[in-house]
Amino acid sequence: MDFRYSQDQLDLIDAAANVLSGENTVERLRAFAADPTTICKSENSLWQQFAELGLFGFMAPESLGGLAQPLEVMVGVAESAGYVGLPEPLIEVAGISVPLLNELGFEDELTAVALGELSVGVISALQTYQSNAHFHDSFLVAGAGVDNLQSRSSLKLTPCNSIDPLRQLTRVELALKQNALADRANLHGAVLSAAQLLGLSRRMIDMSVEYAKERKQFGKPIGSFQAIKHHLANAYTQLEFARPMVQLAALQGGVAVHNAKIAAIDTATLIAETAIQVHGGMGYTYEVDLHLFMKRAWALSAEWGDRNYHMRKLEQYLFTDGATLGASQTFS
Amino acid sequence: MNINFTQEQQRFRAEVRAWLADNVPAERLPSFDTAEGFELHREWEKKLAAGNWGNVNWPIEYGGRGLDLISWLIFEEEYYRADAPLRVSQNGIFLLAPTIMEFGSDEQKARFLPPMAAGDEIWAQAWSEPGAGSDMAAITSKAERDGDHYVITGQKTWSSRAVFADWCFGLFRTEAGSERHKGLSKILVPLDSHGLTRRPIAQLDGDPGFAELFFDEVRVPVANLLGPEHGGWGVAMATAGFERGLLLRSPARFQEAAARLVRLYQSHKHRLASGVGEQVVQAWMNAERFCAATYQLVARVQAGASISSESSANKLFWSEMDKHLHRTAMSIMGAQAELQEGLDAIDNGRWLDGYMFSLAGPIYAGTNEVQRNILAERVLGLPR
């Protein structure tokens, strides 16, 4: 029992975090927001770097050129992707598509994905909308009686408008029923969207702290006032108690996933609202960067099962299924 | 990451479980805030000590088993699972003992730890004063040096269990003319000392759960100084870290309460509004999150990390969680919620007791407002 990342795992997470924060700056995000059509694969040096660093193959088997990392380490990478507000669907490819391709034995495709030559997305019953689907050459369609790869051109994807300017959204015109593969996609999707929400939350706290240190009213930085301090301390506390749950969900799956996703949703919602309040009127503008992270948090909160979905699962577990409860159950 | 218990840990769990099954009193003991209950809880401490179960993570020479903190968590899980009596010695074993182990001399360790472990000496805390609550550096009670004794004069308050306890660990101003957090010392004082008067304070439930302590030239040997003279603030902060951080409230307590809450909900849900179930799920989720976070904290501590300002987040989380959990239970019980014991009282008023106690959580061990200031200033770096 040693519920910590190993040094090797931390090194991998740090390496990914350094690239993400070094390359995906707020200037880059602002430029994308000004012209969302520029969010694409062509002439995208960061997308190329993901391949060079082995990030696409992060969870692929070593025999297929991957790093064979488990989901809990991918959680650390997803948290960093959230922190920088990464628009590219790296986490979806590396954390959801790759493990599923591996499970279905698509070895050639897997090798190509790890090399960055092919991009594969995932479509399942829980994902009504796809973000930046144009990055993907094909999709793994998970659902009862389907479970196969389909090229993007063969699918009907209808454009929709997201409030997040960095999510070019399409609706998937497919009626799918949940099955084992879709459950698997769901597990990874819920855990990794939760992890990104943690990163977004941390970013919004950091932005708010910086703003509260600089912005002066009544002759003092507003961050010296207890009203502001207490909001941010509550936000920080909720985040610190959500993170271990998300890591545990990655290790355990099962009901821990529902708890983790709700923890991340509630944390991100509280922190987004806290952040806008701390920023005052500036927080309500398009000019301050906060909105880029806040809107992503809104969007990811409903991906791979919204709060209602996960809450109903837990109500079922606690009140109907006769769950084993109490101390000593969490890790057994 | 490894979240599997070793075979040794599983064997230890089975051993704890078996001993508790044989030894935990069949009936819940009366509250340790009554004279009768206090002595029954002391007897229970002696029984624990006789089985060498009182402090599994203490070194063997002081009455422990020399086990790590994971084993301590396992012990706590089994302890709450068995619904064993609350620890009347908690101020001593969870707060003072780690401080003695860190700051005490060998003589002090040998003098104070074994009787504490045995339940022969039960400890109370004497820090707060009428004018020094959240602002603890405003302490005015003084301990003046007179040869090889300190002469203590002043007043302490909110001293939990001091009505019936044997000793207290206090914070006193030893340096004449010193101000704020300078010039304070931590001194151990027998509660039956000449010149020391205890005035019981009835807490919310009517029982004398804490006391005011009046010191009128109480003489204490200098050997009872714990840590450096005039350096008591640092010693006290270390104790506060233990209190807020880890030892005082292990996750098992809340997980068991959440399990009881689910059962309470099940037996009342036919008459409840639709949103109540979600609050019950929330209480369960909180307890699970606290458990996950605690195992991670323990892993870090065992790898050499020390708990500092982040312990304030811990205290905020468990105290708010406890209040929410018990508030939810109170809302489920409807008209029966006010029944303290006897006819119609669900679980003999246990939820009501728990709710009242949970209201103290955001106040003791440093108010939650102070914890938020600590987090904002020392962790997030906001200006003072």
In this predicted structure, what is the pLDDT of residue B63? 85
| Averaged pLDDT, B23-35 | 95
| Averaged pLDDT, A104-130 | 95
What is the per-residue pLDDT across B168-196, written as a single tens digit (0 to 9) for each?
Answer: 999 999 999 999 999 999 999 999 999 99
Buried b (16+ CB within 10 A) or exposed e, B290-305: bbbbbbbbbbbeeeee
In this predicted structure, what is the pLDDT of residue B375? 97
Superfamily name with CATH number, domain B249-379: Butyryl-CoA Dehydrogenase, subunit A, domain 3 (1.20.140.10)
What is the per-residue pLDDT across A240-267, written as a single tens digit (0 to 9) for each?
Answer: 999 999 999 999 999 999 999 999 999 9
**CA atoms of A96 and A98, how far apart (whole Å):** 6
- Answer whether residue B243 shows pLDDT above 70: no
In this predicted structure, what is the pLDDT of residue B244? 66
| Backbone phi and psi for residue B246, each to the nearest 5 degrees, phi listed first | -145, -55
Top pLDDT among B306 and B264 is at B264
| Averaged pLDDT, A166-189 | 94
Please tell me if residue A325 touches chain B, with a CB cutoff of 8 Å. Answer: yes
Positive or negative: CA dihedral A309, A259, A241, A250: negative
In this predicted structure, what is the pLDDT of residue B269? 96
Residue B9 contacts by C-beta under 8 Å, 6 or more apart in sequence?
A: A1, B70, B71, B74
In this predicted structure, what is the pLDDT of residue A126? 87
On whether the CB atoms of residues A94 and A58 are closer than 8 A, the answer is: yes
Give the relative orientation of helices A180-214 and A226-252 as an angle to the nearest 10 degrees.
160
CB–CB of A213 and B259 under 8 A? no
3-state class (DSSP) for residue B151 = strand
Closest Cβ–Cβ partner in B262, B296, B371 for A325: B262
In this predicted structure, what is the pLDDT of residue B245? 67
| Averaged pLDDT, A164-193 | 95
- Answer whether residue A4 shows pLDDT above 90: yes
ipTM: 0.97
Residue A223 is classified by DSSP as G
In this predicted structure, what is the pLDDT of residue A267? 98
Least confident piece of the model among A196-200, A204-208, B190-194, B247-251: B247-251
User: How would residue B337 be classed by pLDDT, with cut points 50, 70 and 90?
Assistant: very high
- Answer whether residue B23 shows pLDDT above 80: yes
Residue A178 is classified by DSSP as -
Mean residue pLDDT of chain B comes to 95
| Averaged pLDDT, A286-297 | 97
User: How would residue B249 be classed by pLDDT, with cut points 50, 70 and 90?
Assistant: confident
CA angle A223, A225, A230 (to 5 degrees): 85
Q: Name the residue ranges covered by the structural domains of chain B.
A: 7-88, 123-231, 249-379
Nearest one of B127, B24, B32, B1 to B78, comparing CA atoms: B24
**CA atoms of A19 and B148, how far apart (whole Å):** 64
**CA atoms of A162 and A167, how far apart (whole Å):** 6
CB–CB of A319 and B303 under 8 A? no
| Averaged pLDDT, A140-155 | 93
Rounded alpha-carbon distances, angstroms, from residue A210 to A8, A203, B176, B241, B381: 32, 11, 42, 28, 9
Nearest one of B160, B171, B167 to B201, comparing CA atoms: B160
| Averaged pLDDT, B257-262 | 98
User: How would residue B42 be classed by pLDDT, with cut points 50, 70 and 90?
Assistant: very high
Residue A332 contacts by C-beta under 8 Å, 6 or more apart in sequence?
A: B5
H or E element that contains B101? helix B97-103
What string of DSSP letters covers B157-175?
EEEETTTT-SEEEEEEE-S
Nearest one of A266, A49, A286, A317 to B286, comparing CA atoms: A266
CA A254: distance to chain centroid?
Answer: 19
Please tell me if residue A257 touches chain B, with a CB cutoff of 8 Å. Answer: no
Domains, chain A: 191-319 (1.20.140.10)
CATH class of B123-231: mainly beta
CB–CB of B296 and A4 under 8 A? yes
What is the per-residue pLDDT across B57-115, written as a single tens digit (0 to 9) for each?
Answer: 999 989 899 999 999 999 999 999 999 999 999 999 999 999 999 999 999 999 999 99
H or E element that contains B299? helix B276-302
The alpha carbon torsion through A187, A192, A193, A197 (nearest 10 deg) reads 140
CB–CB of A233 and B373 under 8 A? yes
Q: If you count residue pairs, one on A and one on B, with CB atoms under 8 Å apart, how many are there?
A: 178
**CA atoms of B333 and B329, how far apart (whole Å):** 6
In this predicted structure, what is the pLDDT of residue A141? 95
**CA atoms of A105 and A188, how far apart (whole Å):** 18
Least confident piece of the model among A31-35, A96-100, A265-269, A328-332: A328-332
On whether the CB atoms of residues B188 and B226 are closer than 8 A, the answer is: yes
Of all residues in chain B, the one with the smallest CA distance to A212 is B382
**Cβ contacts (< 8 Å) between B289 and chain A: which residues?**
241-242, 244-245, 259, 263
What string of DSSP letters covers B222-251?
GGGEESSTTBHHHHHHHHHHHHHHTSSS-H
* Residue B349, amino acid: G
Closest Cβ–Cβ partner in B3, B80, B383 for A3: B3
**Cβ contacts (< 8 Å) between A331 and chain B: which residues?**
3-5, 295
- Answer whether residue B242 shows pLDDT above 80: no
Buried b (16+ CB within 10 A) or exposed e, A40-60: eeeeeebbeebeebbbbbbbb
Closest Cβ–Cβ partner in A2, A6, A325 for B258: A325
| Averaged pLDDT, A6-22 | 97
